[in-house]
Structure 1
Amino acid sequence: MIERTSGQPIQRHRKTDDVPLADVLSHYITEQIDIEAADDKSCRKPLSRPQEVLTYILHLIDWWGDKTVGDITRANCRTYTGTCKTPTAARNRLEYLRRALNIALEDRIIDRVVVVTLPPKPKRRTDFFERDDVAKMIRACRAQRLYTHNEKKSENTGHAGTQVRTTSYPRRHLIPYILLATYTGTRSSRMFTASFIKKEGRPWIDLERGVYHRTAPGEEVAKNKQAPSFKIPKRLLQYMRRWYKAGRRYPIEFNGEPIENSRALSRLIKELFPDRKLVPHSFRHTAATWMMRESELAINDIAGFLGMSMEMLDRVYGHHRTHHQQGIADAISTGGIGKIKKDKGDTDNFSYGKKQPEETGRNKSEQAKPSQIKMSVRSQKIRKAA
């Protein structure tokens, strides 16, 4: 990391345009990622995914490391975006460049705000699985591995090119993930690191009380990544207790060891749904969608269960909640909409009939006012006498 930076102590009181970006990014690593700095109480709040952020910073240094702050222009940001795989990937990295500049401004390494031009924000993915889709994935995970006989090795056996089922179940370990993600909407990182035994640094699943603690003891969680504890549904709790009695110590494990991520799940989704834009995070969308469809579930309860703000839940998934319009649908379906409905106490049965109501002629705008009406001769004599 030191070899990638300028190699000089960070100087202050320089013109902003002359400050090397390598110094700005190196300072960000010291403040946000470095382990020794994170132990300091005066340090800023440490990142929740430092390794991922470090990968972004190293990618930024590869392109911006030999440039200065003055080289941050709209044209250069657009050129950098072209070097990334997707505009979304470029946006994620440029956001950290902007954060590094903001921290440098706070610590007076630069003396003015620097604008970083970001690619347009991508549309939010809201695709979700239906129940038949989830059942299809579970069936695929329970299937045995298929082995295709090699043509050269099996040319004398008569089995060349044929497929047979083996005794191996390579995708069986994905079933707990599918069930957990579908029923609870928990993020992947909170499921891969969870444990049935209370351990430091791991979310804890309390099988006795039936509570899933999504955060590890003493863990600080970012505001936009809330992970509240929740009551485990009875159906899912029975599965978990069965897994624990069978010898598991982690809900999602492979060969007895916890796994950090699963490329097998991504491959499974692409294999079963090649024409749909579905990813492992779509399970969270699935849980939110299914819950919003249930009329008896309150929105604030759903938001608390998923660890999502009510504003976000209503904005992204509110279109699935239409049961409050049932009265309108019933009124239209019964043909009663548009009809005059009288109160039960209204017994005089008044109706205009077939004849349309007409003007009575009273208080018309063109009607002469009382002072303008011509008085009779007798009224004029009385008025004069008075």
Structure 2
Amino acid sequence: MPRPSKGARLWLKPAEYGKDGKVRKRSVWVIRDSSKSVVTGCAPEDRAGAEKALAEYIDDKYEPETVRQRPAADILVTDVLNLYLQEKAPDHARPEKTTASVLQLAEWWQGKTLADVTGRSCRAYTKWRVGQPWKSAKPEKTGNAPRLVTEAGVRRELEDLRSAINFHRREGLCREIVEVTLPPRSPAKIRWLTRSEAAQLLWTCWRMREMRNGKPTGRRTGKHLARFILVGLYTGTRASAICQAALKLGSANGYVDLEQGVFYRRPHGKAETTKRQPPVRLPPRLLAHMRRWAKDRDEKTISKKFVVEWNSKPVGEVNKGFAGAVAKAGLGKDVTPHVLRHTAATWMMQNGADLWDAAGFLGMSVQVLERVYGHHHPDHQRSAITAVTSKRSGK
């Protein structure tokens, strides 16, 4: 009986050396599909580029069947994932993250049908996936141990599988309801920064310098992080929206209107999602900073096209640089870019902000704001405290 195909996947082809010990062919990522091999042209460190090439290869090769109202046992999970990759992923805020998640799911669910998606198989996927190093990790380059996949990471991937299956069914392509069993949600950890912690982190970023041979140079490497942190603290905006914020109106990005002082966090023409991104009026102090960053100084202009730039180019994400700054500032690993959003919400509540105004500013519902951050508000449970400590009149 022939062995089942593993499907299209990435393989890092090792370098080839001549008899003289010199490199004849450099190491490169290759797409392997049965007996077929396709060279991506991506170097070992360009895993993201290789995954993009794999996604394009799969997209070109597979055309999901679109026969309506088929039974779950006749529908391949990979067809469902590929349809989701084609139709929905491009509209996501970070389509490259969705692509990476879908490719990871396809590696395990290859050859399985929707009828195989059960509680047992989802738990088996969780057991197989937990503890694996993230493919984005580069321990050979950073010298640090790779981050390992946790149950929270698996839950996020299975949420993508659930979304893909639900989208497929809503398109009328499957006549059965297929449930995806998720790992339990991790307990909420609302970490926020005190004023002194925020100041320490900002000063650390501002003073960071490039190191060469163990000695600092004059090149400052953390100023863009300091700008990112200021925007996060003053607006409570999610990290991806800050990194993508442009200084001119465009269809692919949110933008900052420096003249009117308004941050349009959602790209123009993009539909609203569950992660609300309403326009927000910029605090005067932050607006003054942004106008100074964008002031024309020829080659020395700080922000030319985007609010946060590194070497005059937009910043894709700040996770690694931010983690390094957090370590240098002496803060814990629990301080992530999303903590800036928690901090903004907490500071608003501590200073007695109106719940409706704060919720609209942050882009969340009043119910969520009150449930998660409401205990920081000075009026929280005030009537109860007054009632329990006051004496009844006439008694």
TM-score normalised over the length of structure 1: 0.73
> How far did 1:145 drift?
2.5
Aligned to 2:183: 119
CA contact (8 A) 1:6 1:20 kept: no
Aligned to 2:123: 78
> How far did 1:62 drift?
0.7
Aligned to 1:261: 317
Gaps of 5+ in 1: 36-45, 150-162, 343-350, 352-386
Distance 1:15 1:220, change over 3 A: closer
CA contact (8 A) 2:374 2:380 kept: no
What amino acid is aligned across from residue 115 of structure 1 in structure 2? E
Aligned to 1:357: none
Distance 1:17 1:256, change over 3 A: same
> How far did 1:326 drift?
5.5
SS at 1:278's partner residue?
Answer: coil
Distance 1:21 1:136, change over 3 A: same
Q: Does 1:234 align with 2:291?
A: no
Aligned to 1:285: 342
CA contact (8 A) 1:72 1:116 kept: yes
> How far did 1:214 drift?
1.5
Which of 230, 252, 259 does residue 179 from structure 1 map onto? Answer: 230
CA contact (8 A) 1:186 1:306 kept: yes
What amino acid is aligned across from residue 130 of structure 1 in structure 2? T
Which of 46, 69, 87 does residue 31 from structure 1 map onto? Answer: 87
Distance 1:76 1:271, change over 3 A: farther
More strand per residue:
2
Distance of 2:116 and 2:167 partners within structure 1: 18
Distance of 1:26 and 1:323 partners within structure 2: 51
What amino acid is aligned across from residue 260 of structure 1 in structure 2? G
Distance 1:16 1:144, change over 3 A: closer
Distance 1:330 1:136, change over 3 A: same
Q: Provide, for residues 206-250 of structure 1, a one-character-per-residue CA deviation record: whole Å limited to 9, x for no partner.
A: 22222222123222221x211111221111111111111152222
Distance of 1:323 and 1:8 partners within structure 2: 56
Aligned to 1:67: 112
Distance 1:47 1:193, change over 3 A: closer
* Rg larger in structure: 1
Distance of 2:333 and 2:357 partners within structure 1: 30
SS at 1:205's partner residue?
Answer: strand
**1:152-191 map, 5 Å:** 164-191=215-242
Distance of 2:208 and 2:369 partners within structure 1: 39
Q: Does 1:201 align with 2:257?
A: no
Aligned to 2:307: 251
**1:361-376 map, 5 Å:** none
Aligned to 2:8: none
Aligned to 2:17: none
Aligned to 1:102: 166
SS at 1:142's partner residue?
Answer: helix
Distance of 2:346 and 2:390 partners within structure 1: 31
TM-score normalised over the length of structure 2: 0.72
Q: Provide, for residues 81-134 of structure 1, a one-character-per-residue CA deviation record: whole Å limited to 9, x for no partner.
A: 123211112111212222222233233432211121110112223101111011
Gaps of 5+ in 2: 1-54, 130-148
What amino acid is aligned across from residue 241 of structure 1 in structure 2? R
What is the aligned-residue identity percentage? 33
CA contact (8 A) 1:144 1:167 kept: no
CA contact (8 A) 1:48 1:221 kept: no
**1:288-367 map, 5 Å:** 288-295=345-352, 297-323=353-379, 337-338=390-391, 341=393
Which of 48, 51, 54 does residue 93 from structure 2 map onto? Answer: 48
> How far did 1:71 drift?
1.6
Instruction: Calculate the aligned-residue CA RMSD, in Å.
Output: 2.7
CA contact (8 A) 1:210 1:232 kept: yes
The number of equivalent residue pairs is: 313
CA contact (8 A) 1:10 1:23 kept: no
> How far did 1:329 drift?
6.2
CA contact (8 A) 1:144 1:166 kept: no
* Mean Cα deviation higher: 182-191 or 268-277: 268-277
CA contact (8 A) 1:21 1:64 kept: yes
SS at 2:224's partner residue?
Answer: helix
Distance of 1:142 and 1:3 partners within structure 2: 44
SS at 2:250's partner residue?
Answer: coil
Q: Does 1:131 align with 2:187?
A: no
CA contact (8 A) 1:95 1:118 kept: yes
> How far did 1:272 drift?
2.9
CA contact (8 A) 2:276 2:364 kept: yes
Q: Does 1:87 align with 2:173?
A: no
SS at 1:225's partner residue?
Answer: coil
